[in-house]
Amino acid sequence: MNRYRTFLMICGGTGCSAGGGGGKLKDALETELKDRGIQDEFKVVMTCCNGFCGEGPIMKVNPDGIFYKGLKPENMATIAEEHLYKGKPVERHLYQAPGRPGKVPLMKDIPYFNLQVSRVMRNKGLIDPEKIEEYIARDGYQAAAKALTSMSPEEIIKTVKDSGLRGRGGANFPTGLKWELCAGAPSDEKYILCNGDEGDPGVFIDRTIMESDPHAVIEGMIIGAKAINAKKGYLYVRIEYFMAVSRMQLAIKEARENGLLGRDILGTGFDFDMEVFETPGAFVCGESTALMLTVEGKRGMPRPTPPNSVVKGLFGKPSVLNNVQTFANVPQIILNGADWFKEHGVEGSTGSRVFALTGSVNNAGLLEVPMGETLNRIVNEIGGGVKRGRKFKAIHLGGPSGGYLPEKFLDTPLTFEGMEEIGVMVGSGGVVVMDDLNCMVHAAKSVLEFTVFESCGKCPPCRIGSQVLMDIYNDITEGRGKMEDLDLIEELSDEMIKTSLCGLGQCAPKPVLTSLKYFREEYESHINEGWCKAGECRELVTFYIDEETCKGCGACKRVCPVEAITGEKKKPHLINQETCIKCRACLETCKFGSILAGPASMREELLNKKAVEA
Amino acid sequence: MIELTINGKKVKAPPESTILDAARKSGIYIPHLCYDRRLVPYGGCRLCLVEVEGSSKLLTSCSTPVRDGMVVQTETEKLAKARKSVLELLLVHHPLDCPVCDKAGECELQDLAFKYGAAEGRFKRQRSHGPDYLDAPLVVRDPNRCVLCGICVRLCTEYQGVGAINLIGRGFKTMVSPAFGETLDCEFCGQCIDACPVGALSSKPIRYGTRVWMMEHKETICPYCGCGCTLTLGVREGRVERSVGKEGKGISNGDLCGKGRFGFDFIYSKQRLTTPMIRRNGELEPVGWEEALAFTAEKLSRIKETHGPGSIGAIGSESAPKTVEDSYMLQKFMRETVGTGNIDSAARFGYAKAQGAVKQAFGLDALPIDFHSPLESEAILVVESDISSSHPVFALRILEAAREKGAKLMVMEPRMTKLSRHAHEWLRNRPGSSVAVLNAMMNTMLDEGLYDKGASNVRNFAELQKGLADSTPEKAEALTGVPAERIKEAARDFAKAGRRLLCLTMGESENSKGANTVLAAANLLILAGSGPEALQIPAEFSNSMGMFEAGVRPDADGGLDAMAMIYDDGSPIKAMYIMGEDLLTAFPRTSEVEARLKGLEFLVVQDIRLTETAKLADVVLPAASWAEKEGTCVGATGIPQRAVKCVPATGESLPDWKIFIELAKLMGKGLGVEDMAGVRAEVERNVKLRFETSGAAPAFNPVAYGDGETTDADYPMSMVTGVLLQHSGSLTTFSNSLCSVVSDAYIQVNVDDASRMKLSDDAFVKLSSRRGEVFLKARVTDEVPEGMIFAPAHFPHARVNALTSPSTNGGHSIVAVRVESAG
């Protein structure tokens, strides 16, 4: 076997691969190594996702721990020559913390990594997800072996219950209790299902886990199957997650070949097998009853409970459904015990969990932190603060079923109950940072668009209610709003929460209500002043240039797609109101804050002024 | 029983029930749009929300199970507010077109909006989300009125077992639609129309016809099949406008098939007879009653004198336009006034065969079915019978048993019927071979000791053993095409089931079974230890059993049956009196029938319409139809049911019983009754209308499988005739509504046969047998197996019976035919 001096760990996650990294990077690097005749000293490895997707494509140089970011295949020549051949890391591709001087060459020194914990994502950037041996080498399937050989179903359930693990999907139901209820339901046939359909926009946690550590999911399901005595499992993955689908399928095949799935697993007499169920993807299928109906080949619509799925689920049999992250937590709990899991987190919200941090933030990506951590730490310390130094406005937490939080809640601990108290939910773990360029009315409207599109259509409150809310928002953002509409939004939202059949309809008004509750002044300025101060609602804004601060740099002129901006160099520029399409490109570009967003009525004034001048 | 409190009232309910069930039972109304008693709870409309003490959430009463000590409130301020909001939302796009909506007056949404005051909603944003109107035969859809309660979809898929429609699209754009938005192509049972809580689905024949409140509603019995469903007729100004099924009414409890719901319009057929007619110079001419009756009386008297009473014969009818009273008076007239026992009906080719076999097997005179028996069975075996077409509502019970009660449904059937599609075990045998399969099942039971020990004491057990010794499943496989292993499995499942049921039909147009099939079926049941109650052979028409018991059957000593009267070369018949039967459509070997009728000295046809047979008559007497007269009907269940007079008789037509009274008087031998009361009193005195299965004396009657007519190079295909969902008996072909679904005669040909014969779908073909030829259209399908032709026999113009022949040996009478392109 070849012994290598150094391992070059190229991230093979979806984010990095899509950004021109992954395979292309690997090919380029290998060519460069060969050209220099040093290919036998270096092993190029495609690893699973590191989670720091915002800085991708990424490569680590082990064992030194040098961390390269934002790589392109054409950079490989320099790295091979300067670093790998001559031994001097290439400064240009090293990480630099936003707003701070100096490069940070080592991964362990980068706050994004060293402020996280590594449990569910403990294998990130380390193993090749397409090789079962690498998972096994990192204690993989030890927990399954322990559960199958030396634990009774009751003991498994007790351990999971003691750990306090709660579902990492939307509803956060205690996992051990769910298993216990299903184990207690009498039936000769039971099913275990894993939801990898992850429907929240901007969230890619389950997808990444399936792509990075597929065997952890399988192992979790095997342990769950033993706990409830299921013989068959389904992994529900949306079809457009093609890498997740193929890696899970490969992993299942490998597990089967190694006697970890199928008949008589590890010689224990326990039979369990599973398959990937590729779904066309629908947000409503996050509801267990709807999800199970689609596995049966029926239309995905929730049904009323009781009977709950644990009693009457897939094909009418008792079934357990957990999401990917939940199952991925299980092996470590079984292996290390409930107390180990509880080292992190707080009472009622134990363990760690992964968040997907996106939006106006410097370090976008996946990060794992203990439950009970504050948003402040996630956004400002790990996330490196708001992008381009803009002013923080809100966090959108928990996706379309969550809500908006203003700055005052940044130090509230992220616990399930704590978040519910202030009107949002941890939900699927999406954290979207919003800055002063985001209009909160517009933001709520965008989420509503999603709900309207994803409503299954079964019950009137959700089917028609969300559409009516959408109509009201269209009115407000297009200048037809009335103050009474705000009461109507609250009333209708309240009725939707009370009368909708499933979580989709019951949670759909949450973003609306929180945006109205915490940012009411924005609604009022839309309605009363005809003014969207963030400049997102085109009908309610007029862009103009502050002559006093404009330096005449011409940056705005260059980005304007309709050539509405005129002006000589170093003299204040002017926006032609007749041609301006309010795309906001100038506002986002101007470094001096000279582009201003005025109320809609200003346009008329400016046009009149121009006419008088002429 | 669970005890709970609803609105302060103590209520008791069985443990499995929901809050809504309990409330409905105790007369407490909870609003709902998506609940239907026949379906699993849906929880979609959010109107049946109730408050339950101890629960912070509002709960849907349709899906929440009752609990001991539960305290429920169904009308609170909070609930009224929630319901009002939901209604306001529904009215966002539901047009307020009640003034032109057929449903107005019985619309749930209208009533609820009235109750909760939600008409002009706060959320009103006028918009539509689909086309206004979608056309199809019989069913009209107005998608904008739809509240997406999903009842139609679920009823069609779960309950009817059809699945012609589903919800497509999602969210606000969700619509009820056939796949890919195509035109509706379904059974056209119309169950969805009755169940639709709003006006989104309506009945095309009465669209814009009448307002609900202008109709008077009357309950009567369906005139068609033996099920005997209760129809609620909407009558306005002396005209039947519609027919609907109502929950809690009759044996059908609100279920109807397309015939019951739409087929009533035969009474308004243009072919209805309005005056008596006499043939003069070869043409039928309208005459008055006096003249017609005098002429008939004189002719019959003369023939009786010349050739003796034995030269006169009569044919009666099984379906509801002819009641027990009519049948009784026909036979009384024939026996007392004319003096002959030559009386029979088309039941000779159907129900009479079953009746004879039942007598042989169990010693019973009649065997009614128990409508709900499937629901109590663990295994149901259906023998070459398309019960979903012949007795659609009874078949719903079979489907329900298989779907919800865990019954194992085994269907022996060459065709892809609704039952074979829903069967747990489909034994696709060759047409007519069911006796061989049944014998092989018994062979397995004997072989494996799976028979009831008491059976060895039943008469002829030894003969049965001997007779079946050679009927091994392996031999049956060669004869029937059903794999031996599956026959054995079926035998084991059937024998081991605690409560079993065997269902088959014996319709006059069905030629794939004979008396032997019934005997073999009875043998199987007796061997398994079941009694006659496990044998369900629904009599074909609405008054089959009534007619039979009223005496429309030949005298036991010397009376001629239909076979002897019509087909025997030496038939002494010179004159016939035909009441309500179209021999030229319903009787096999039509050309012989036609020759016989033409050769008669005198032919009287008393009917509601000018049938093919009536066109040959010397005298045609117009009879009042169903819904135009009082009477009693006894269908398959053996329960006498009252048919009610709802509208005046058409033209000068008279009830049949009345015609016989008048005629008898003119012939000088009155019948001793004057009015309905008199007839009814006699019927009650003389006709046994209660049937019992107790006192059975079972006996084995071993039967061997006989091949029937053989196919050869000239006639290579086997033609099976039978009923359609829309057409059974020629009465249906006079219904405009039913004809708007299926109006043209056709045969079904297997895809592979068709490609071999180069027949395209809808090709015009010549179909010939050893007895004749007819021309009709071919439909290419995979519903029939290779080598088989299926032909509905009910279209008078198609004369499919020109090709057929009655069975004389108890076997099937499948016909060997040839199909040629005639395009």
Contact B43/A455, CB-based, under 8 Å? no
Kindly tell me if the per-residue pLDDT of B792 is higher than 80: yes
Residues from chain A that touch B89, judged by Cβ atoms under 8 A, are 460-461, 464-465, 468
A468/B92 Cβ within 8 A: yes
**Is residue B714 scored above 60 in pLDDT?**
yes
Chain B: residues touching A (Cβ < 8 Å): 41-46, 49, 57-58, 60, 62-65, 81-82, 85-86, 89-90, 92-93, 122-123, 125, 147-148, 150, 166-167, 169-174
Q: Which residue of A has its CA nearest to B123?
A: A468
Cβ-based contacts of A199 with chain B (< 8 Å): none
On the question of pLDDT at B231 being above 60, the answer is yes
Residue of A nearest to B90 (CA): A460
Q: Is the pLDDT of residue B257 over 80?
A: yes
3-state secondary structure (DSSP) of residue B175:
strand
pLDDT score for B127: 66
Cβ-defined contact of B46 to A499 (cutoff 8 Å) = yes
Q: Residue B133 pLDDT > 80, yes or no?
A: no
Average pLDDT score over residue span B195-219: 94
Closest-CA residue to B726 (of B243, B321, B190): B190
**CB-CB neighbours of B498 under 10 Å:** 7
Where residue A321 falls among pLDDT bands split at 50, 70, 90?
very high
Note if the bond before A57 is cis, omega within 30 degrees: yes
- Please report residues of B whose CB lies closer than 8 A to that of A284: 170
Question: Could you tell me the pLDDT band of residue B253, with boundaries at 50, 70 and 90?
Answer: very high
CB contact under 8 A, A303 and B46: no
Using CB atoms within 10 A of its CB, is residue B462 exposed (0-12), middle (13-18) or buried (19+)? exposed
What is the pLDDT, as a whole number, of residue B182?
Answer: 87
How many angstroms separate the CA of residue A297 from the nearest CA in chain B? 13
- Average pLDDT score over residue span B292-321: 94
Q: What pLDDT does B690 receive?
A: 78
* A452, A453, A454, A467: best to mutate for the B interface, most B CBs within 10 A: A467
Q: Does B810 score more than 90 pLDDT? A: no
For residues B737-747, give the mean pLDDT: 92
Give alpha helix (H) positions in B19-95: 19-25, 77-93
Whether A105 contacts chain B with CB within 8 A: no
The CA distance from B147 to the nearest CA of chain A, in Å, is 8
Q: Round to whole Å and give the CA distance between B441 and B484.
A: 9
Instruction: Report the pLDDT averaged over residues B216-228.
Output: 95
Rounded to a whole number, what is the distance in Å from the CA of A467 to chain B's nearest CA? Answer: 7
User: Which has the minimum average pLDDT: A9-18, A511-520, B19-28, B545-554?
Assistant: A9-18
Closest by CA to A559, choosing from A541, A583, A532, A533, is: A583
Which chain B residue's Cα is nearest to A454?
A: B171
If we measure between CA atoms, which residue out of B46, B50, B57, B49 comes closest to residue B71? Answer: B50
pLDDT, tens digit (0-9, with 9 covering 90-100), for A348-404: 999 999 999 999 999 889 999 999 999 999 999 999 899 888 899 999 998 888 999
A69 Cβ contact partners less than 8 Å away, ≥ 6 residues apart: A52, A55, A56, A57, A58, A93, A94, A95
Task: State the sign of the Cα–Cα–Cα–Cα dihedral B742, B746, B752, B757.
Answer: negative
- Give the residue ranges of DSSP H helices in B450-529: 461-468, 473-480, 484-496, 515-528
User: Least CB-CB distance to A463: which of B57, B65, B174?
Assistant: B174
Mean pLDDT, range A89-93, rounded to an integer: 90
Q: Which of B90, B92, B171 sits opposite A457 (nearest CB)?
A: B171
Q: Which of B596, B557, B602 lies closest to B576 in space, CA to CA?
A: B602
Q: Which tens digit of pLDDT belongs to each residue from A40-58?
A: 889 898 888 888 888 889 9
The C-alpha atoms of residue A370 and residue B169 are separated, in whole angstroms, by 41
In chain A, what is the greatest distance between 2 CA atoms, to the nearest angstrom?
92
Tell me: pLDDT of B123 over 80.
Answer: no
Most A CBs within 10 Å, among B47, B149, B172, to test the A interface: B172
Average confidence (pLDDT) over B812-823: 91
The per-residue pLDDT for A579 is 93
Nearest chain B alpha carbon to A489: B123
Task: Tell if the CB–CB gap between B150 and A458 is shorter than 8 Å.
Answer: yes
pLDDT tens, position by position, B481-527:
999 999 999 999 999 998 999 999 999 899 999 999 999 999 999 99
**CB of A474 less than 8 A from some CB of B:** no
Residue B129 has pLDDT above 90, yes or no: no
Cross-chain Cβ contact A463/B42 below 8 Å? no
Nearest by CB to B174, from A457, A461, A501: name it: A457
- The ipTM of this complex is 0.88
Contacts of A287 in chain B (CB under 8 A): none
User: Chain A residues with CB inside 8 Å of B60's CB?
Assistant: 304, 501
Q: How far apart are the first and last CA of chain A?
A: 83
Using one digit for the tens of pLDDT, what is the confidence trace for A195-254?
Answer: 999 878 888 999 999 999 999 999 999 999 999 999 999 999 999 898 999 999 999 999
Please tell me if residue A432 touches chain B, with a CB cutoff of 8 Å.
no
Smallest Cα distance from B783 to chain A, Å:
24
Find the range with the poorest average confidence among A153-162, A384-393, B38-47: A384-393
- Measured CA to CA, the distance from residue B72 to residue B365 in angstroms comes to 54
Give percent above pLDDT 70 in chain A.
100
Instruction: Measure the N-to-C terminal CA separation of chain B; round to a whole number of Å.
Output: 68
Contact B755, B714 (CB under 8 A): no
- Chain A CB contacts of B167 below 8 Å: 299, 301, 457
Q: Note the pTM of the prediction, 2 decimals.
A: 0.91
Q: How far apart are CA A426 and CA A195, in angstroms?
A: 17
Over range B390-395, report the average pLDDT.
96
B161-174: pLDDT as tens digits:
999 999 999 898 89
pLDDT digits (tens, 9 = 90+) for B236-249: 999 999 999 999 99
Asked if A312 reaches chain B (Cβ–Cβ under 8 Å), the answer is no
**Which residues in A lie closer than 8 A to residue B49 (C-beta atoms)?**
499
Of A455, A471, A495, the CB nearest to B82: A495
For B330-348, the pLDDT digits (tens) are 999 999 999 999 999 999 9
pLDDT at A143 over 70: yes
Give the bridge partners for A353, in sequence order: A369
Report the pLDDT value the prediction gives residue A1, as an integer from 0 to 100: 53
Chain B contact for A593, CB < 8 A? no
Mutation for testing the A interface, residue in B35, B45, B89, B116 having most A CBs under 10 Å: B89
With contacts defined as CB-CB under 8 Å, which chain A residues touch B172?
A: 452, 455, 457, 463-464, 466-467
Q: How confident is the model at residue B266 (pLDDT cuts 50, 70, 90)?
A: very high
Give the minimum alpha-carbon distance from B461 to chain A in angstroms, rounded to a whole number. 41
**Does residue A259 belong to the interface with chain B, where contact is any CB pair within 8 Å?**
no
| Residue A154 identity (one-letter amino acid) | E
Q: Judging by DSSP bridges, how do beta strands B631-634 and B619-622 pair with one another?
A: unpaired
Q: A409 Cβ partners below 8 Å, 6+ apart?
A: A375, A395, A422
Residue B419: other Cβ atoms inside 10 A: 26
> In the predicted model, is pLDDT for residue A546 greater than 80?
yes
Percent of chain A predicted with pLDDT > 90: 70
φ/ψ of B673, rounded to 5, equals: -130, 155
Is residue A574 very low, low, confident or very high in pLDDT (cuts 50, 70, 90)? very high
Chain B, nearest residue to A495 by Cα? B82
A287 touches chain B (CB under 8 A): no
pLDDT of residue B408 exceeding 60, the answer is: yes
Name which of A458, A476, A490 to mutate to probe chain B: the one with the most chain B Cβ atoms within 10 A of its Cβ. Answer: A458
Query: B474 pLDDT band (50/70/90 cuts)?
Result: very high
CB contact under 8 Å between B63 and A282, yes or no, is no
Q: Is A420 on the interface with B (CB under 8 A)?
A: no
- Chain A residue numbers touching B81 (CB-CB < 8 A): 495
What is the reported pLDDT for B308? 95
pLDDT average, residue stretch B655-660: 96
Confidence at residue B125, expressed as pLDDT on a 0 to 100 scale = 64
The pLDDT of residue A45: 87
Gap from A494 CA to chain B (nearest CA, Å)? 9
- The mean pLDDT of A131-139, rounded to a whole number, is 93
